[in-house]
Amino acid sequence: MRLSYLFNAVSLIFIYIGLVAFSPVIVSFIYNDLNSAVPFVVTGVISGLVGLFLKLVVNNFLSQDKMTDIKKSEGLAIVLLSWLVFSIIASIPYLFFNLGIVDAFFEGTSGATTTGATILTHYDYPKALFFWRSLSQWLGGMGIIVLFIAVLPQFAVAGRQMFFAEAPGPTEDKLTPRIKNTATALWGLYVVLTLIQIGLLVYFKMPLFDAICNSFSTISSGGFSPNPQSIMGYNSLPIMWIVIVFMFLSGCNLALLYRIFTKFRINLLWKNEEFKTYLKLIFIVSLIVFGILFLNTHQHTFEQFTNSVFTVISIMTSTGFYSCEYSMWSVSAQIMLFIVILFGSSAGSTGGGIKIMRALIVFKYLKREITKLLHPNAVITIKLDNNTVAPDIVSQIIAFIMFYIAIFIVSGLTVSIIESNVVVGFGGSIATLSIIGPAFGHTIGPTGSYESLNDISKIIFTFNMLIGRLELVPFLILLNKDYWSLKK
């Protein structure tokens, strides 16, 4: 592990995220609220100075190696440190609005990791802060490292290890031989989808500021909204369906969408097992939830159907928007929502959860093992989209799911004991680990807040967010003593 690589990469993160932190100042000027610009000016200056200091350390005390031969362990370390740095920087502005250190770090991390869990109990804050909340989610949705690989030469040279350390999913899915071009293509699609959604929301009478913030949070699968009642607050079916469509797209594999949009081959969707499973799950679970609601209320309005589809997609893609108070639904309906939480969205999407691709591979693995019990001499390979899945990939996926469940149980039990509330403990654990945000129950449900929780519970949930966003691997690597062999 070479310190020069780590310090050099982290210094760039501080400097450039510090520059981005100045952007809400523009919002302050537009709305003639100059006092609200101060937190972001201070954040930008602090971040920039820390970055320059680290750059000075590299120049004066450490070797001047360029990041051309970065190792996988170093790539993982840079990704982990980058997300910690981004979360810390994202937290600083909240300190100026009477939030404590723990609450500020919780809210900042929730934004950076696109979780959408909030400690805010009211929305009497400047527009600049709401812009920052949504902007931090938008930057975190595609990934800080992917962005820097696309725009910074220093990261593009050695971007492969960092790109796949940050990319959500079990396979290395790249669009072009050069990682820089892949990162640029993905960010290009990301920007285009965001602009289209903004335009559609404005067309259907959503205020421009709200349209920008909600689009940032939709495309990133984040869920922060400037409206205190989320999408429900706009009381518009067209707006709900626009958000539904873009939440659905954000839950798809973005590399797959890029190929479809650039090659005009929609048939690629029907050749992709993960997409077909994703679509079937949404369709089936939405119908079941709608049926359960009908049996309980004897209402079958189009609005109730819309709420069913909206909630299932929002939960499954880990967006966290809400169009109704789903924590008031029956237990059977909430169980269906819990099922889609476990599946999550597609690999290579902006969403969280275990990912459908992993679930598919585990299902095929179990099916193979059952078949082998009946036919011990049979040679059966696991295939996805007619491609053989390597045994080591299967082992990694099984290990991932085991650690995922272990972290969920440990954090759930711990918080349940601290809060004396099982619903808060396990509901909050799955919601933060799957980076969904709102959970179940009155306290931390869609219209609730994490503010009333014990600080220790908030810290546990904060690290759940980071672990869920980075999909465990960088954190598990930290447990290996060989990882800590540092060099200048």
pLDDT value at 159 more than 60 = no
Q: How far apart are CA 118 and CA 423, in angstroms?
A: 17
pLDDT in tens, 173-212: 555 545 667 777 888 888 999 999 999 999 999 999 999 9
pLDDT average, residue stretch 382-407: 86
Range of the domain at 311: 277-343
3-class DSSP state of 383: strand
Q: What is the pTM of this model?
A: 0.89
pLDDT value at 395 more than 60 = yes
- Which segment of 154-168, 293-307, 473-487 scores lowest on mean pLDDT? 154-168
pLDDT value at 328 more than 90 = no
Q: How far apart are CA 188 and CA 202, in angstroms?
A: 21
pLDDT average, residue stretch 288-317: 89
With respect to residue 303, please indicate whether it lies within any of the assigned structural domains: yes
**Most confident by average pLDDT, 67-76, 112-121, 347-356, 388-397:** 112-121
pLDDT average, residue stretch 309-326: 92
Q: What is the pLDDT of residue 454?
A: 95
pLDDT average, residue stretch 126-148: 85
- Which segment of 38-47, 82-91, 171-180 scores lowest on mean pLDDT? 171-180
Nearest to 327 by CA among 228, 249, 254, 431: 431
Q: What is the pLDDT of residue 95?
A: 95
pLDDT value at 161 more than 60 = no
3-class DSSP state of 384: strand
Q: How far apart are CA 362 and CA 322, in angstroms?
A: 31
Alpha helices in 420-487 (DSSP H): 422-433, 441-444, 455-470, 473-477
Using only the alpha carbons of the chain, give its radius of gyration.
Answer: 22
With respect to residue 302, please indicate whether it lies within any of the assigned structural domains: yes
150 versus 217: the higher-pLDDT residue is 217
DSSP 389: P
Nearest to 4 by CA among 84, 60, 81: 60
- Which segment of 109-113, 260-264, 290-294, 363-367 scores lowest on mean pLDDT? 260-264
Work out the percent of the chain whose per-residue pLDDT is above 90. 46
pLDDT value at 263 more than 90 = no
Q: How many domains does the chain have?
A: 1
With respect to residue 281, please indicate whether it lies within any of the assigned structural domains: yes
Phi, psi of 440 (to 5 degrees): -115, 165
Secondary structure percentages of the chain, helix, strand, coil, to 5: 70, 0, 30
Mean pLDDT for the chain overall = 85
Q: How far apart are CA 472 and CA 404, in angstroms?
A: 8
pLDDT in tens, 419-467: 999 999 999 999 999 999 888 888 898 888 999 999 999 999 999 999 8
DSSP secondary structure string for all residues of 49-101:
HHHHHHHHHHHHHS----TTS--HHHHHHHHHHHHHHHHHHHHGGGGGGT--H
Look up tokens 């819990």; give the residue. 338
pLDDT average, residue stretch 253-257: 86
With respect to residue 331, please indicate whether it lies within any of the assigned structural domains: yes
Q: What is the pLDDT of residue 157?
A: 47
With respect to residue 293, please indicate whether it lies within any of the assigned structural domains: yes
pLDDT value at 91 more than 90 = yes
- Which segment of 106-115, 142-151, 404-413 scores lowest on mean pLDDT? 142-151
Phi, psi of 118 (to 5 degrees): -130, 150
Whether residue 435 contacts residue 352, with contact meaning beta carbons closer than 8 Å, is answered with: yes
DSSP 388: E
* The CA-based dihedral angle spanning residues 102, 435, 129, 51, taken in that order and rounded to the nearest 10 degrees: 70
With respect to residue 360, please indicate whether it lies within any of the assigned structural domains: no
pLDDT value at 172 more than 70 = no
Sign of dihedral through CA atoms 431, 436, 440, 441? Answer: positive
Q: How far apart are CA 323 and CA 235, in angstroms?
A: 9
With respect to residue 337, please indicate whether it lies within any of the assigned structural domains: yes
How distant, in Å, are the alpha carbons of 115, 128, 234, 412, 484 from that of 123?
18, 12, 15, 29, 44
Q: How far apart are CA 418 and CA 420, in angstroms?
A: 6
Confidence of residue 397 (pLDDT cuts 50, 70, 90): confident
Q: What is the pLDDT of residue 99?
A: 92
With respect to residue 235, please indicate whether it lies within any of the assigned structural domains: no
Q: How far apart are CA 215 and CA 134, in angstroms?
A: 8
Q: What is the pLDDT of residue 478?
A: 63
